[in-house]
Structure 1
């Protein structure tokens, strides 16, 4: 019997020095919070989670990327590939989920997690800060090839989320552009870019990459 989709952990981070970011600091080191975390609509470059810090605000945070979710199942697959245990939050995700097809989520679908309502907006594009944090040679290429990037979320309704909360998919748009499709379009299969042009829920950071979409 399949388990109900749920939040395994809610993760927040503090600013840590790094040599792998132009910002000189990173908030990628996310750790599980011990209790409920308030989810709100952030300002530009801010995180949607109370107590969570983002440092390179050019590419992270803001209303369209308020929360980052990654599946525990994908972390387990990476653990096997890399030969080491990967803890919840290690990919910089705010929500570690289980029983939820994050890669197959439709851009614009909405999740009820705890008392918050979240909307899927974009895939995560790997950066050198991520690669430096994990310390894996060729990590950006390796992560890109697997094409299971996790999903950024917009806060449609503010609320609280904690470990153990169920995640319910409330509605899904009919355009069939998934997080996986959007990621491949933005990275390795640019011929897919036209499919993203009419996806209204797509985060602005991802939409800016569409300028070179083929006709």
Structure 2
């Protein structure tokens, strides 16, 4: 398991975002590093956890529980076969393109050591938006991406430090529950009946997903 590509984005103006300033940092490009990784602060205040990486729409992105976004190269390869086009590392707006790691199959609260210093913790899957659709340039992309159910993982920073492209990735903690990123994603998008299962992940779960699950349980099973 390794960090195949480390990707950073710069703010640029585009026509396809609904962000008020009309700019986005979704177009991530590979860099060698090293890049400093730290907890950026609360959502709405903190942006990316990676130094030099732009997060322009802090309504929906960035903050401690979405500090880093990871996608498996294997999932990009699968999409390449399905779409019949080349998808370079970083094309999904991911900071980390991994190799040999089942990102969407990771459990909420699972911890990864990247390189020798940084430890990250899985919090939730990525919800697709129209900016993502415009960037990828595929009609109906939001629906198609949702139906596939392999969203990649957002992570928070447990131990800060520097990472580089090519760094090894090690799973240093795997929780005993069965709440994976893929299950969490399905629960908050297409299969709401799964929401009660998310509670097993506890405080490691992204606060918004946790609140949604708690509200559902209170309404339908309380």
* TM-score w.r.t. length of structure 2: 0.91
Q: Is the 1:15–1:53 contact (alpha carbons within 8 Å) kept by the matching residues of 2?
A: yes
1:37 equivalent among 35, 38, 56? 35
Residue 129 of structure 1 corresponds to 131
Q: Which residue of 1 aligns with 2:26?
A: 28
Query: How many residues in Structure 1 have an aligned counterpart in Structure 2?
Result: 211
Matched, 1:139 2:141: yes
Q: How big is each residue's C-alpha offset from its partner over 1:119-146, in whole Å with a ceiling of 9 and x where there is no partner?
A: 0000001011100111101101110111
Unpaired runs of 5+ in structure 2? Answer: none
1:150 is aligned to 2:146: no
Task: Report the Cα offset of residue 204 of structure 1.
Answer: 2.2
> Which residue does the alignment assign to 1:204?
207
Out of 1, 11, 19, which is 2:7 matched to? Answer: 11
Give the superposition deviation at 1:66. 0.3
> Which SS does the other structure have where 1:186 is aligned?
helix
Structure 1 residue 164 displacement after superposition: 1.0
Bigger helix share = 2
Q: 2:192 aligns with which of 190, 193, 199?
A: 190
2:110 corresponds to which residue? 109
User: What is the match of residue 178 of structure 2?
Assistant: 176
Alignment of 1:53-72 (within 5 A): 53-72=54-73
Task: Name the structure 2 match of 1:48.
Answer: 49
Instruction: Calculate the TM-score normalised by the size of structure 1.
Output: 0.94
Residue 20 of structure 1: how far off its partner (Å): 2.6
The structural deviation recorded for 1:195 is 1.0
Q: CA deviation at 1:172?
A: 1.0
Aligned mates of 1:130, 1:185 — CA distance in 2: 21
2:4 and 2:99 in contact (8 A); partners too: yes
Moved over 6 A (4+): none
Give the Cα–Cα distance (whole angstroms) in 1 for the partners of residues 90 and 210 of structure 2.
26
In structure 2, how many angstroms separate the alpha carbons of the residues matched to 1:123 and 1:192? 15
Q: Is the 8 A contact 1:21 1:56 kept in 2?
A: no
Tell me, what secondary structure is at the counterpart of 1:32? Answer: strand
Once residues 188 and 92 of structure 1 are traced to their aligned partners in structure 2, the CA distance between those partners, rounded to angstroms, is 23
Q: CA deviation at 1:45?
A: 3.7
